Structure 1
Amino acid sequence: MNTSQTVQQLQAQWVTPENFRRYGQVIFASQDGKAFDAEDAQLNLENGTPRFYIMRLQKRGRKFHQITRHVQCTQCLGSLEGKDWLIAVCPPENHVNEPALGEIAAFRIPGNCFIKLNAGTWHAGPYFEHEVVDFYNLELADTNEVDHFTHDFLKSHQLEFEMVD
């Protein structure tokens, strides 16, 4: 059995609404009073009690070997204090229990927006090199208990990823 580990680099691109569309939405500030439209987060939180909270994460670096998805809800993530961060994503394939290796993409998210992940989108992150970053997170109250599916690339492919600029 081959136990050697490979590190695959993923080129992180700055997120835009266009290049992130396969995975979800990018939401930027809009004028107060603007009518709800397609540029607003299209949320699916109907399968439980919504939970909006701030999570504090310590320096996470740029490497990962696990990727997770939630199939029962959308998820919104954004950093506080204007700090940029990284995330890797893979489009949802709800009939497949494993992300497609060739479909994984990495994005740099600026601190002036947030992302909404479509239900079922595989994601690894947030990652960053700051000492500490607080993130707001909108999902369901029990997402991490009943709707948390993780794939481990070290176990399946002896593979780790590193997001690079």
Structure 2
Amino acid sequence: MNALPTIQQLQSQLITPENFQPYGQVIYASVDGKNFDQEDAQLNLQNGIPRFYIMRLHEKGRQFHSITRHIKCTQCLGSLDGKEWFMAVCPPDNEIDEPVLSKIAAFRIPGNCFIKLETGTWHAGPYFDHESDEFIDFYNLELSDTNVEDHFTHNFLKSHNLSFEMI
């Protein structure tokens, strides 16, 4: 008989450009006509055809046991309806094939910004707290084949009998 998985709680922190820097960027609105600079999303989409789409998510809650990364491109995610959401991340390290447990962090992301995940950043989410019949639409910028050719997932239930909950 298998033991029940351990649930490790991750304290969610409100995202800022400074605390999210090891994982990517936080992008806020800017005035029209502003010149491109370091506050704009620094994208890597040269390894394929960019895909910008709206994904509808019905998941609820803040628990996860799998985390994914993409090593060919950056990825941008944001809530369309201005609703708060959550994301767990682990910094990119292309020298190893799995995320470092001690480096996993959770963020609470307000609906007035979006995130750009650096190439190779491990991520779980978006997650959100809403009634089971609700959904949130998220915009997603990645490559057209990201979910087929560039989708590497680590399952902590299989490797460590571990699940996470963002609080």
Scaled by the length of structure 2, the TM-score of the pair is 0.96
Q: Distance in 1 between matches of 2:149 and 2:60?
A: 25
Unpaired runs of 5+ residues, structure 2, are: none
Q: 1:144-155 maps to which residues of 2 (within 5 A)?
A: 144-155=147-158
Q: Deviation at 1:3? A: 2.9
Q: Distance in 1 between matches of 2:3 and 2:14?
A: 34
Q: Distance in 2 between matches of 1:81 and 1:134?
A: 7
Aligned positions, number: 164
1:33 aligns with 2:36: no
Q: Deviation at 1:136? A: 0.1
Unpaired runs of 5+ residues, structure 1, are: none
Which of 136, 139, 142 is equivalent to 1:139?
A: 142
Q: Distance in 2 between matches of 1:59 and 1:89?
A: 18
Q: Distance in 2 between matches of 1:139 and 1:3?
A: 38
Q: Distance in 2 between matches of 1:82 and 1:2?
A: 41
Q: Deviation at 1:129? A: 1.2
Q: Distance in 2 between matches of 1:26 and 1:32?
A: 18
Q: Deviation at 1:81? A: 1.0
Tell me the secondary structure at the aligned position of residue 156 of structure 1.
helix
1:69 aligns with 2:72: no
Which of 158, 161, 165 is equivalent to 2:164?
A: 161
Q: Deviation at 1:60? A: 2.4
Q: Deviation at 1:2? A: 5.5
Q: Deviation at 1:64? A: 0.1
Q: 1:106-121 maps to which residues of 2 (within 5 A)?
A: 106-121=106-121
Q: Distance in 1 between matches of 2:97 and 2:3?
A: 23
1:83 aligns with 2:83: yes
Q: 1:98-113 maps to which residues of 2 (within 5 A)?
A: 98-113=98-113
Amino acid paired to 2:92? P
Other-structure match for 1:11 = 11
Scaled by the length of structure 1, the TM-score of the pair is 0.97
Q: Distance in 1 between matches of 2:165 and 2:4?
A: 16
Q: Distance in 2 between matches of 1:39 and 1:4?
A: 44
